[in-house]
């Protein structure tokens, strides 16, 4: 069984496409939305596709790590699949048939990621270049060096392994995804599947520009790697 976990905060513009995509999966699955108390109709929209919507209602703002952990806490699947709220997985049955094979035919694999691409109608040269190079980085980290690395767009993780490492580090406001894969790689093998691709809007890069976003990724990643602390005080919404 696969548990899809989607963190949301005011995602009414994009979440329906993601939910429609995941709903097409014919295998045993559940869709869990973990919401940070959206005010734009996201919660009602998500309930059209799943009854499992957990809502954070504390006064302090929730980190995305907290949102993912809240979703995982109610999941019943053998695998946890974390995706962002603007991600679409084409040909989803074939995608997960192949993804599950990666776990079965490679002993010790505990987590998997894949290629990320921006929807062709929105994609720029910068998008294609950066995400191609990011794929090379993830391939080298996971498949060659054995040092886990993955973004939040897509992470498929054994539920047992996720529990063994204690889930996402809720103290981190950014690079929590890279940190989780790095910790998972100390307990088993993490893999980058070059033959699998998910699509997303690329909205953050388009809103803030690639130079600023790459600088933020780099500073947060290095700070988390060496000091277990994000440099960003808050990961701001881009909608």
pLDDT band at 236 (very low <50, low <70, confident <90, very high): confident
Q: What percentage of the chain reaches a pLDDT higher than 70?
A: 99
Q: Which of 191, 187, 175, 192 is nearest to 227 (CA)?
A: 175
- pLDDT category of residue 234 using cuts at 50, 70 and 90: confident
Distances from the Cα of 71 to the Cαs of 67, 82, 159, in angstroms? 6, 9, 12
209 pLDDT higher than 80: yes
> 239: pLDDT confidence band, cut at 50, 70 and 90?
low
Nearest to 13 by CA among 200, 236, 154: 200
Q: What pLDDT, on the 0 to 100 scale, is given for residue 197? A: 98
Structural contact between residues 131 and 115, judged by C-beta atoms closer than 8 angstroms: yes
Query: pLDDT tens digit string along 23-82?
Result: 999 999 999 999 999 999 999 999 999 889 999 988 888 999 999 999 999 999 999 999
Three-state secondary-structure class, residue 183: helix
Per-residue pLDDT at 235 exceeds 90: no
Domains of the chain: 2-227 (3.90.550.10)
E strand residue ranges, the chain: 2-8, 29-35, 52-55, 79-83, 109-118, 154-158, 189-200
Averaged over 85-104, what is the pLDDT?
97
């Amino acid at each position: 069984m696969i548990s899809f976990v989607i963190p949301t905060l005011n995602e009414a513009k994009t979440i329906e496409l993601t939910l429609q995509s995941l709903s097409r999966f014919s295998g045993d699955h559940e869709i869990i939305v973990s919401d940070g108390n959206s005010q734009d109709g996201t919660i009602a929209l998500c309930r059209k596709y799943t009854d499992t919507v957990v809502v954070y209602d504390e006064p302090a703002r929730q980190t995305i790590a907290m949102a993912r952990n809240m979703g995982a806490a109610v999941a019943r699947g053998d695998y946890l699949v974390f995706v962002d709220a603007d991600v679409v997985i084409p040909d989803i049955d074939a995608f997960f048939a192949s993804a599950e094979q990666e776990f079965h035919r490679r002993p010790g694999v505990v987590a998997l990621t894949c290629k990320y691409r921006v929807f062709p109608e929105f994609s720029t040269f910068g998008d294609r270049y950066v995400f191609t190079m990011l794929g090379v980085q993830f391939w080298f980290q996971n498949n060659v060096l054995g040092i886990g690395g993955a973004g939040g767009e897509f992470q498929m993780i054994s539920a047992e392994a996720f529990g063994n490492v204690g889930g996402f580090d809720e103290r981190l406001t950014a690079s929590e995804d890279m940190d989780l894969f790095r910790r998972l790689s100390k307990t088993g093998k993490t893999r980058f599947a070059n033959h699998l691709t998910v699509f997303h809007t690329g909205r953050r890069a388009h809103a803030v520009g690639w130079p600023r976003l790459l600088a933020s990724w780099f500073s947060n990643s290095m700070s988390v790697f060496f000091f277990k602390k994000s440099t960003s005080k808050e990961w701001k919404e881009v909608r």
